[in-house]
Amino acid sequence: MLIRTAKEDIKYVMFTREQIAARVRELGRELSEKFQGETPLMICVLRGAVFFFTDLCREMDCQMDMDFISASSYFHGTKSSGVVHLLKDSGIDMEGRHIVLVEDIIDSGLTLDYLVKLFATRRPSSITTVTMLDKIVNKPDRFHVDYYGFKIPDEFVVGYGLDYADYYRNLPYIGVIREECYQ
Ligand code: IMP
Ligand code: MG
């Protein structure tokens, strides 16, 4: 049986690990300035944001604490199911806290919209949203994110945490897979 490696399935690389690292450093600097003297609660939306989150937090030099939640709107496909499921919630008291929600990518905007509305009910001081990638989609009233790494065209991307059917998350760069890799 022929087993292809994850890298062999990549049609092209959209952002190299060096480009990602440079952009994450800039975002880290901006967020450090914003939260100077504060202790934000950094929340990672698992699983896609995991590498972005850990890299971003290490590029910030303010005090912080971290938590991990899990949300899903995709079920082994490349289009959102339209329904967000909170698979794992945060157990930390958010009242009076500066919350920073860290996502991998915004497509329809449904996931972040859902999470921000949910966390707003817990009376935080503020909620800041950060995403590594922001897809340019033709939807004028879509969720507006506070910080993004890169804007990208409406293509399905994998790597640096992003998956297709749970594969390719471990690629160190962001890329597009070849058509024949979609079952
Ligand atoms: P939204 O709710 O439509 O904004 O979708 C957000 C979620 O869908 C993200 O957190 C990702 O997990 C997933 N997603 C959206 N676009 C892509 C993509 O191009 N590759 C991999 N996952 C994606
Ligand atoms: Mg996600």
What CATH number is given to the structural domain containing 157? 3.40.50.2020
Return the amino acid letter for 117: K
Residue 133 CB neighbour total at 10 angstroms? 22
Query: What pLDDT digit, counting tens, does each position of 150-168 carry?
Result: 999 999 999 999 999 999 9
Residue 141 lies in a domain: yes
| Shortest-distance ligand to the CA of residue 177 | 1
Q: How confident is the model at residue 73 (pLDDT cuts 50, 70, 90)?
A: confident
pTM of the model: 0.94
Residues with a beta carbon under 5 angstroms from ion ligand 2: 48, 104
Residue 109 lies in a domain: yes
Helix, coil or strand: residue 110: helix
Q: CA 144 to CA 123: how far, in whole Å?
A: 20
Looking from the CA of residue 107, the nearest atom of ligand 1 is: 4
Residue 82 lies in a domain: no
Q: What is the mean pLDDT of residues 70-84?
A: 76
The DSSP output letter for 158 is: B
Residue 80 Cβ contacting ligand 1 at under 6 Å: yes
pLDDT of residue 107: 93
Q: Is 155 left (phi over 0), alpha (psi -120 to 50) or beta?
A: beta
Query: What pLDDT digit, counting tens, does each position of 40-72 carry?
Result: 999 999 999 999 999 999 999 999 999 999 998
Residue 58 lies in a domain: yes
Residue 33 lies in a domain: no
Query: 66-95 burial by CB neighbour count: b if 16+ within 10 A, else e?
Result: eebbebbbeeeeeebeeebeeeeebeeebe
Distance 36 CA to ligand 1 centre (A): 31
Domain containing residue 51: 6-26+38-70+92-181
Looking from the CA of residue 110, the nearest atom of ligand 1 is: 2
Among protein residues, the one with the nearest Cα to ligand 1's atom 12 is 48
Strand pairing report for 65-72 and 126-135? unpaired
Residue 176 lies in a domain: yes
DSSP secondary structure, 12-81, as one string: EEEE-HHHHHHHHHHHHHHHHHHTTT---EEEEEETTTHHHHHHHHHT--S--EEEEEEEE--SSSSS--
- Residues identified as active-site: 107
Q: How many domains does the chain have?
A: 1
